[in-house]
Amino acid sequence: MRCLTVMKSGWHVNMSCKRRRFAAVIACVLPNQMFVFVVVALLTDFFGSVCGSNLTSFGEFQFELEPRDVIAAKDSGAIFNCMVRSSAQIDVEWLKDGAPVEYDDRRYKLQNGSFVVEAVEHLRHQRSDQGDYQCMATSRSQGTIISRKAKLQVAYLEKAFAEEPQSVSVHLGDMMMFSCRINGLPTPDVRWFKDEAELESSHSNYFIHYDNVLELRSVQFSDFGRYRCKASNKDRSKLSRNAFLSQDSDPSTYQGVLPRFIMKPRDTIALEGDTVVLHCGANGRDRNGAAPRLEWLKDGATLDLTSSDHHFTLEGQGSLRIDGVQGQDEGEYTCRAINMEDSVDEAVMLTVQVPPKFLLRPKSKAMLVNSDVELECDVLGSPRPTIRWLKNGFAVMMDDYVQMTEGRNLRILGVMKSDQGMYQCTATNAVGMIQAVAQLAINERKILDEDQLSTSNSLLPPPATDITAAYMSSRFVTLAWQYSNELQETMEPLGFLVYWKEKDSVRERVLNTSSIEASIQDLKPSTKYDIRVITYNAYGINNDSMPIAVETNAEDFVPASPVNVLATASSTTSVDVSWTPPPNLSDPITHYKLYYYNINDGAFEFDTNVTETRYTVTGLLKFSRYGFRIVAFNKNGPGVSSDEVTCRTFSDVPSQPPQNVSAEAASSTSIVVTWEPPPDGSQNGIITGYKIRYKQKLRGERSGNTVTTDGNLHFMELTGLDRNTEYMIRVQALTVNGSGPASSWAITETFLHDLDETSVPGQPTSLRVRAFTNSIAVSWTPPVEQDIMIRGYILGYGIGIPDVYSQILDAKMRYHTIKSLKSSSEYVISLKAFNNVGEGVPIYETTSTREESTPEPHTPMMPPVALKAIVLSSTTILLTWSDTTLGRSQRITDSRYYTIRYGTKVLTKYKMMNSTDLNLHVEELRPDTEYEFSVRVTKGNRQSTWSLSVFNRTKESVPTSFPRDMTPVAMEGKSTTVIVNWQPPRHPNGQITGYLIFYTTDATEPDSEWVVEEVRGDRLSVTIRDLTPETTYYFRIRARNSVGQGPMSPTVIFRTPRIDGTGGGIIETPDDFGPLNRLPVRNSWSFGHMQNSRGSTETPASASGMISSVVLWIIVGCIGGVMVVTAVIAAAVFIYCRNASAKKLMKNRDKLAEQKSKYGRKDLNPPDLWSHELTELTHTDKEFSEEAFDEISKQMPTDSERYHMGGSDSRYRSMSPRSVQMVSPGDKVSYHGIAKVLPRDAEINSVRTRSSSNSTPRVNAGDITQSSSGRSSKQPLLNITSSLKNSAGAIQSPVRPVPPVSCTPLRTPDVTKVDLCPHPLPSKQASTEELSAEMANLDGLMKDLTEITQEQYDC
């Protein structure tokens, strides 16, 4: 074992490893403070992952260099390299197409592990050397791993060109492009020839692109002729046919015509990192003789090819080059050719293929037998890579216990020793393969060392009993068991291990839990299982457990899910769906049901019955994505649904024109046109642009010009117009399929004169706003003064006031959306026009954004049904439900999950939990509480409504809180009867069936010695009779229900009144009075003692690293020294003041002596500085003998003694006023010391005497058995000398308070009990007249004492 001790800055850390436990004790002593903070943490490792022999180290074993693809010419050599990094000796072998390579003189392995093929053979009908090669490395101690696949390909060149130059006629000045493509390995080189002479790429009029396309920028007369290309690689060379370039002499096709493509871009698949060129060329001059302008758009937005980003560049006249293509470059690209006559578009798709890359590699793990393990692996790639798992070089066979989760992770349930080995995650797609290695080590369960087993069996916890199947289903079972809590602390269990296995199976699984219930998932229907539950603690596992046999419920056999589901768009409104029947069919398929829904809105899920394995779904929306899934049916019903596949229908031209088209004159030669896109449902594709057609109104419809803008722009300025002329304008939306319907003609007239900028613009004529939740759409019309120049608009807005924020808008804009606003807020919008002179008059509008609301999601899925709430315990309810979309098998094979909502009727706020199974244990509920449950299902972006709610109530549990506000009240006129009132506990956890009231006169007695008063039912008061007057009692209470008793309440101290009904009441319990507040505290510190979970205490000195007793003595001594110095100074002041009144005290001494013989000695000294309370004389209703007063005087403390006894304490609170009462002759007179309660840390050396009274309180009642030996009332007597001695002495156990003796009470501070009469006092008979005279003399004495006291205090 290894231990670590660190000492730093007053902190002591001790960590030890013993019996696979870790104990950490941290103690901190703060400077100048008696403060100890202790944290004790016990961490137990039962699975040997850190301490003990199960610690597993993984040796290095992986590929450092893997073979790569090789292209070799026929009869040439090829070599594959392989290098393995390993801490052990390894053997390297080679595989070809998954089979071991047969070595010979031509194919052999080098000493470093590389593989050589000297002369590659490649015959027409036998490709002996071409194939996939893999390196296989084996370590005897670890296992086997294999490398990724490396292809050996023989160089070739196809016989026919895939694309070769074609003859064409063009006009002089036009552009021309020739293409030459042929397949071959390696990629062939292409050279161009004109009239048998090779063309140089440096020629000013020729340009040869990266992918060998020949472009003539502006055809000259010398460029006409015969063109051909030659392709060659290491295999051979090939010439294309001749293509003739000639002159087009037709003038009608030269000018005033629409653009026409001479080379269109084509769909391209590129590998990540490659260079891609999308070729585009067009001819066709407009009426002004201008050649077409070429633009590129990506996903409807124009690419800025003039920026400094060299990722996109324009090559030649109009081809788009993308260097280092990345995954984000994938999308739809549109080449647009534009002239004044019209524009034409051609769209293509660029698909980027990405080789597999690891996002998460599997990690080596060491597991215990019977546990579950999941090796994680995640990859990225396009197309999506296929993940396969290998063990020691062979494919892992999947079954009920070895599963592929989420299509990528490997999960093994109930691992065995045979599962140990090297595991590889391989990911493959069309452009690559990668692999990663992880080692799985399996260890036996071993809690204790062999030499400890014989000595620790007595410390193991008892076994679990009464193991039952609380709920049985076809796919899971819920277990419950009992466990005795009456154990020693050392035998307290830390948890339970639940083992289960299929009958007659060798693979067993285990579940760890700390509760007395567990749910076992992923079982098979109609299958028998053996289950056992064993207990464990820090000392080991108790294997003494009787297994139980259970059999899951039967389930009708239904088909598995169809496989290879494929959905392909066949038109703008139809999709072809095909699939393969489920495997392993025992019963024939009767039919299939095809489900589909629109992912864009998810309004409803449609279905149709199909008898074949192919179906065409028609009537779909254009350019909309749909989800499809298939369910097979047999005679037993529906089976498991297939995985969902998606497909988007083809796009089409927009079916509606742009909305809100307007045209306004901006100057004498320009018009600004604005519009909004077509409605969403009618766009039928991505809007790639808008075509604006404009012409003069007086001219015919055939004439006119066309301009095209981007799809993300909604305004356009038409320039170069005639002055004071009416123009007609309309707009069309474009997709890759063409132009949609045109809008209605908008007519406007240009100004006669240019705009004036000598004054500011006027106020906009209108301002319209439309508020949404987080945005406001603003539209406006320009000022009436149309001859004043407007450079732009300033849009201001703010909550409550305008212009808190502002935006500058273009003068051509008439529509803008303010975004990122606060919901449910009132905004003030302002708008003003400006020019170089200044800003115009603003126009204002007020609107409020909408309230934030969570829209109800579309619910094409049906909610779960048959929800059941099964009560398992006072804090746990098992929920089960069914999902109608899963069929009768109720097996979840997709990524759906369920959300459970639950709450009480009192709380309106629900709690939520998620589950991926069809059941859930809801724990940490309140006992005896009714809960409401409902559930819904979520799959992707689809969600069901909440199911019907079910209700159930948890079982009762013992009360977890004590009754509140216990208040004893003396019954009026009866000093021996007390009425105890209280309130119910805050957490009764069930129906209260009664209360138990505990009381005693000695708080230090064990609970079994307290008197118990039983209260049945739910009454909240009880009358306790036959108590002793003038006696201090201690009360506690606890509640009980049908399950058991709750915790004990704090102690309430109550003193019964005197016989005549006066006095008595509640005594305030000090905060530091330990024995009385007997609340159950676990793992807490209280009054210098540490209380453990079982209720026992340990002094801090017993803990490692605590303050020693020597340090405590030093601290107490320092405090005592300060107190002594203070006492000396106070004594000096007192003596000085007392001398001033000494003469007057001598005058009264003779008078006091005369009264002694007749009335007895009364020591009524005035209060000194040590007391804040006057000694009161009560019950002076008897006459006493002189001997009695002499005896009392001996017991009274002197002035000096009382000075050192300390001051008053306010912790005692009397509920009755002081009084002096008269008694009749013949009554006994008794003195009682009225005392405050001391802390338990104080030591009182007392002399106990037997009471002269024969009355004793009840000590047994209810269910408390009467003790055989009677208990006599005792009263402590103060010993002043011992008290002074103990003021700086050790802290000992507290005094036991007992019933008082019959004495007249004197208020004496800072003592636990002061008994001024240890024996029954003899009484002297006197008449009423004599007693009255004597009382008059006493009144005179009291006046004299008052004067003396006043003089002393005046000093």
All residues at 6 or more sequence positions from 1033 whose CB lies less than 8 Å from its CB, including other chains = 968, 978, 999, 1000, 1001, 1027, 1053, 1054, 1055, 1056, 1257
Count of Cβ atoms closer than 10 Å to residue 356 Cβ: 24
The pLDDT value recorded for residue 1110 is 53
Supply angle C-alpha 1289, 29, 1081, rounded to 5: 75
Higher pLDDT residue, 57 or 796?
796
The pLDDT value recorded for residue 1194 is 45
All residues at 6 or more sequence positions from 1087 whose CB lies less than 8 Å from its CB, including other chains = 1072, 1074, 1239, 1240, 1241
Is the backbone of residue 800 left (phi > 0), alpha (psi -120 to 50) or beta?
A: left
User: Which range is least confidently modeled, 248-252, 510-514, 1209-1213?
Assistant: 1209-1213
Higher pLDDT residue, 141 or 276?
276
Mean of pLDDT values over 673-697: 90
The pLDDT value recorded for residue 897 is 92
The pLDDT value recorded for residue 727 is 92
Q: Give the residue carrying structure tokens 């472009």.
A: 215
- Both tokens assigned to 243: 């293509």
Residue-wise pLDDT for 803-852, tens only, equals 999 999 988 888 899 999 999 999 999 999 999 899 999 999 999 999 88
The pLDDT value recorded for residue 36 is 31
Task: State whether residue 646 is helix, strand or coil.
Answer: strand
All residues at 6 or more sequence positions from 1023 whose CB lies less than 8 Å from its CB, including other chains = 971, 977, 978, 979, 980
Please check the confidence at residue 501 and state whether its pLDDT lies above 70: yes
The pLDDT value recorded for residue 1181 is 40
Please check the confidence at residue 1232 and state whether its pLDDT lies above 80: no
DSSP letter assigned to residue 1100: G
Please check the confidence at residue 1349 and state whether its pLDDT lies above 80: no
Q: Among 377, 370, 378, which residue's Cα sits nearest to residue 419?
A: 370
Please check the confidence at residue 962 and state whether its pLDDT lies above 50: yes
Residue-wise pLDDT for 339-353, tens only, equals 988 889 998 999 999
Give the Cα separation of 345 and 688 in Å (integer).
Answer: 9
Q: Give the residue carrying structure tokens 């063309």.
A: 199
The pLDDT value recorded for residue 1330 is 61
Give the Cα separation of 801 and 512 in Å (integer).
Answer: 63
Q: Give the residue carrying structure tokens 């004496």.
A: 1308
The pLDDT value recorded for residue 555 is 78
Supply angle C-alpha 191, 197, 201, rounded to 5: 50
All residues at 6 or more sequence positions from 107 whose CB lies less than 8 Å from its CB, including other chains = 101, 115, 116, 117, 118, 129
User: Which range is least confidently modeled, 446-450, 565-569, 626-630?
Assistant: 446-450
The pLDDT value recorded for residue 1072 is 57
Please check the confidence at residue 13 and state whether its pLDDT lies above 60: no
Per-residue confidence band for 1048, with pLDDT thresholds at 50, 70 and 90:
very high
Higher pLDDT residue, 1095 or 808?
808
The pLDDT value recorded for residue 1012 is 92
User: Which range is least confidently modeled, 437-446, 1187-1196, 1235-1244?
Assistant: 1235-1244
User: Which range is least confidently modeled, 91-100, 375-384, 582-591, 1145-1154?
Assistant: 1145-1154
Higher pLDDT residue, 65 or 1091?
65
Of the chain, the end-to-end C-alpha distance in Å amounts to 75
Please check the confidence at residue 1141 and state whether its pLDDT lies above 70: no
Please check the confidence at residue 72 and state whether its pLDDT lies above 60: yes
The pLDDT value recorded for residue 482 is 85
Give the Cα separation of 135 and 63 in Å (integer).
Answer: 9
Strands 432-443 vs 365-368: parallel, antiparallel or unpaired = parallel
Give the Cα separation of 481 and 925 in Å (integer).
Answer: 19
The pLDDT value recorded for residue 1142 is 53
Per-residue confidence band for 1224, with pLDDT thresholds at 50, 70 and 90:
very low
Per-residue confidence band for 550, with pLDDT thresholds at 50, 70 and 90:
very high
The pLDDT value recorded for residue 1202 is 38
Task: State whether residue 784 is helix, strand or coil.
Answer: coil
212 burial via Cβ count (<10 Å: 0-12, 13-18, 19+): buried
The pLDDT value recorded for residue 934 is 94
Per-residue confidence band for 1047, with pLDDT thresholds at 50, 70 and 90:
very high
The CB-based long-range contact list for 84-89 (8 Å cut-off, 24+ gap) reads 84/113, 84/135, 84/137, 84/145, 85/60, 85/61, 86/59, 86/60, 86/61, 86/62, 86/137, 86/139, 86/142, 87/59, 87/60, 87/61, 88/59, 88/61, 88/139, 88/140, 88/141, 88/142, 89/139, 89/140
Task: State whether residue 637 is helix, strand or coil.
Answer: strand
The CB-based long-range contact list for 583-589 (8 Å cut-off, 24+ gap) reads 584/560, 585/559, 585/634, 586/557, 587/557, 587/559, 587/634, 587/635, 587/636, 588/634, 589/559, 589/632, 589/633, 589/634
Peptide bond connecting 588 to the previous residue in cis, omega within 30 degrees of 0: no
Please check the confidence at residue 538 and state whether its pLDDT lies above 60: yes
Q: Give the residue carrying structure tokens 């006992």.
A: 927
Portion of the chain with pLDDT greater than 70, in percent: 73
Please check the confidence at residue 27 and state whether its pLDDT lies above 50: no
Higher pLDDT residue, 526 or 389?
389
Q: Among 587, 712, 575, which residue's Cα sits nearest to residue 638?
A: 587
Give the Cα separation of 23 and 42 in Å (integer).
Answer: 5
Q: Give the residue carrying structure tokens 């440096």.
A: 202
Please check the confidence at residue 451 and state whether its pLDDT lies above 70: no
Question: Would you give the distance in Å from CA 589 to the centre of its chain?
Answer: 44
Peptide bond connecting 860 to the previous residue in cis, omega within 30 degrees of 0: no
Please check the confidence at residue 279 and state whether its pLDDT lies above 90: yes
User: Which range is least confidently modeled, 75-84, 409-418, 855-864?
Assistant: 855-864
Per-residue confidence band for 1273, with pLDDT thresholds at 50, 70 and 90:
very low
Higher pLDDT residue, 8 or 604?
604
1286 burial via Cβ count (<10 Å: 0-12, 13-18, 19+): middle
Per-residue confidence band for 394, with pLDDT thresholds at 50, 70 and 90:
very high
The pLDDT value recorded for residue 1136 is 62
Mean of pLDDT values over 1113-1127: 74
Q: Among 1260, 1269, 1337, 1257, which residue's Cα sits nearest to residue 1300?
A: 1257
Give the C-alpha distances (Å, rounded to integers) separating 123 from 70, 115, 120, 235. 18, 21, 10, 14
The pLDDT value recorded for residue 1309 is 38
What is the identity of the amino acid at 1133?
V
Tell whether the torsion through CA atoms of 800, 802, 805 and 810 is positive or negative.
positive
Beta bridge partners of 1248: 1276
CB 21 within 8 Å of CB 42:
yes
DSSP letter assigned to residue 553: P
- Both tokens assigned to 765: 């004529």
Mean of pLDDT values over 1137-1148: 52
Portion of the chain with pLDDT greater than 90, in percent: 41
Please check the confidence at residue 1259 and state whether its pLDDT lies above 60: no
Task: State whether residue 1290 is helix, strand or coil.
Answer: coil
Mean of pLDDT values over 906-932: 89
Residue-wise pLDDT for 1322-1339, tens only, equals 444 445 556 666 676 677
Higher pLDDT residue, 1200 or 323?
323
Give the Cα separation of 1311 and 717 in Å (integer).
Answer: 103
Tell whether the torsion through CA atoms of 292, 294, 295 and 296 is positive or negative.
positive
Q: What is the dihedral of CA 890, 894, 895, 901, to 10 degrees?
A: -20
Please check the confidence at residue 26 and state whether its pLDDT lies above 50: no
Give the C-alpha distances (Å, rounded to integers) separating 980 from 553, 625, 1029. 57, 76, 16
Q: What is the mean pLDDT of the chain?
A: 77
Per-residue confidence band for 491, with pLDDT thresholds at 50, 70 and 90:
low
Per-residue confidence band for 32, with pLDDT thresholds at 50, 70 and 90:
very low
Please check the confidence at residue 952 and state whether its pLDDT lies above 80: yes
Please check the confidence at residue 861 and state whether its pLDDT lies above 60: yes
Mean of pLDDT values over 316-323: 91
CB 649 within 8 Å of CB 569:
yes
Strands 877-882 vs 865-871: parallel, antiparallel or unpaired = antiparallel
Higher pLDDT residue, 487 or 275?
275
pTM comes to: 0.61
The pLDDT value recorded for residue 127 is 63
Going through 1087-1227 in order, the beta strands assigned E by DSSP cover: 1089-1091, 1097-1098
DSSP letter assigned to residue 1323: B
User: Which range is least confidently modeled, 178-187, 292-301, 611-620, 850-859?
Assistant: 850-859
Residue-wise pLDDT for 1030-1044, tens only, equals 999 999 999 999 999
b (16+ CB within 10 A) / e for 728-758: bbbbbbbbbbebbebbebbebbbbeeebeee
Tell whether the torsion through CA atoms of 399, 404, 410 and 413 is positive or negative.
negative
The pLDDT value recorded for residue 702 is 63
